[in-house]
Amino acid sequence: MTAERFDIVVIGAGIAGASVAAELAGAGHILLAEAEDFPGYHATGRSAAFREECYGGPDVVPLTLASGSYLEKGGFLTPRGGLYVAREGQGDELDAFYRQFCAAGVTMERLDRAALEARLPGIRPGWDYALHQPNCADIDVAALHEHYLAKARSGGVELRTGHRLSAAERDGAGWRLDFGSRGEVLAGVVVNAAGAWADHVACMCGANPLGITPLRRTVMQLRIDPSPPADLPLVLDLSGDFYFRPDGGKLWLSPHDETPSEPCDAAPEEMDVALAIDRFEKVVDWRIEAVERKWAGLRSFSPDRLPVYGFDPQVGDFFWFAGQGGYGIQTAPAGARLGAQLITGATRDEMTERLDVKLYTPARFAAVMA
């Protein structure tokens, strides 16, 4: 029996695969193949669901800013505000951070201790400075993911769950892709949106791995006394030791851990939960009544921690859409639009015209790939 033929097959239906498939819709016969029984099971379904404009560093800022109005107009954002808090003695570091990110286009204002206390009641002594970021917001991740899946489907993209790519080989001008018991398909272009498995998928397709490393991140939901005010901002440590934010009367807390992991169904470790609580208790005097829930997920980073969007320079018709790190939700609109434009050769538009493609091309790792 002849295998079914698609112009483009996207591997992975997390936010990366779903969004790029939605942006590609209409550009041919497209398959979105997901290994799990439902899309969003891995990193996408486990995020802390915020949009923070400094997150990921100055070269991620353009992607975050370019994505902002899509998220806002779509109704996916709820304003929250963000606070970077700093310890006594970190004033110069905070100033350098402020200057670096304001220059990158982020809106922030400096707060003194009195202004910090007003926004973060219960803050312990020793936390002397803060930066307030008014445009920080919660993201409705499930709604955004579903929006992209629906947009893809309505544009003719076929979503197949339970389809794990297990082997691939070049077949004439394209690819023969093996999904095990689910059969084979032919593809013109393969888009690698496999998250933590991106290097594995690359190896299957004969491309050199780029060193995309999954790092485990833990989040827990706490019941605290007093309950966090609903308008509490997202609070991040300037030194990167924790963040927390309210969610429906509870508090989500992370120790900002980054433990290297094999690609897997990540689970939280007790040590990281204990570490988070220890750090939290040094910031505010709120009493923790219970850890109600905890989870972990894998954030996948390229060697320079920037996303990888572009055709593999050595293996034809193999497109990288990976390494979205800890910002794959907040950068999804611009990342996906740019990815689709690079795949189809379409002209850049208002959302993407100011993005510097060289920052994200896989060719920047030429030495690794050689």
62 binding ligand FAD? (CB under 6 A): no
d(CA 152, CA 156): 7
Are β-strands 30-33 and 158-160 bridged in parallel, bridged antiparallel, or unpaired? parallel
Secondary structure class of 200 (helix, strand, coil): helix
Rg of the chain, C-alpha, whole Å? 21
d(CA 91, CA 71): 33
d(CA 341, CA 339): 5
Q: Which residues pair with 287 in a beta bridge?
A: 225
State the number of CA atoms in the 13 A half-sphere of 108 facing the CB: 25
Contact 23, 68 (CB under 8 A): no
* The two three-digit tokens of residue 65, written as one number: 């800013």
d(CA 171, CA 370): 24
233 binding ligand FAD? (CB under 6 A): no
> Between 332-344 and 141-154, two packed helices, what is the crossing angle to 10 degrees?
30
Residue 129 or 140 with smaller CB distance to ligand FAD: 140
CB of 298 to ligand FAD, least distance (A): 6
17 binding ligand FAD? (CB under 6 A): yes
Site for ligand FAD in 201-220 (CB under 6 A): 201, 217, 219
193 binding ligand FAD? (CB under 6 A): yes
Question: Which positions from 288 to 327 touch ligand FAD by CB under 6 A, shown as an x/- string?
Answer: ---------xxx------------------------xxxx
Q: Return phi, psi of residue 164, to 5°.
A: -95, 120
CB of 313 to ligand FAD, least distance (A): 21
Which residue in 268, 279, 18, 260 sits closest to 150, CA to CA?
18
Question: Which positions from 20 to 59 touch ligand FAD by CB under 6 A, shown as an x/- string?
Answer: -------------xxxx----xxxx-xxxxx---------
Secondary structure class of 336 (helix, strand, coil): helix
CB of 335 to ligand FAD, least distance (A): 10
Site for ligand FAD in 330-359 (CB under 6 A): 330
Considering CB under 6 A, how many residues would be counted as binding ligand FAD? Answer: 41
Residue 228 or 307 with smaller CB distance to ligand FAD: 307
Residue 130 or 298 with smaller CB distance to ligand FAD: 298
CB of 112 to ligand FAD, least distance (A): 28
CB of 178 to ligand FAD, least distance (A): 10
> Between 332-344 and 15-24, two packed helices, what is the crossing angle to 10 degrees?
50
Residue 129 or 152 with smaller CB distance to ligand FAD: 152
353: exposed, middle or buried (Cβ count in 10 Å: 0-12, 13-18, 19+): exposed
Residue 130 or 236 with smaller CB distance to ligand FAD: 236
CB of 125 to ligand FAD, least distance (A): 29
Site for ligand FAD in 118-177 (CB under 6 A): 163-165
Residue 161 or 314 with smaller CB distance to ligand FAD: 161
Footprint of ligand FAD on this chain (CB under 6 A)? 11-17, 33-36, 41-44, 46-50, 163-165, 193-197, 201, 217, 219, 297-299, 324-330
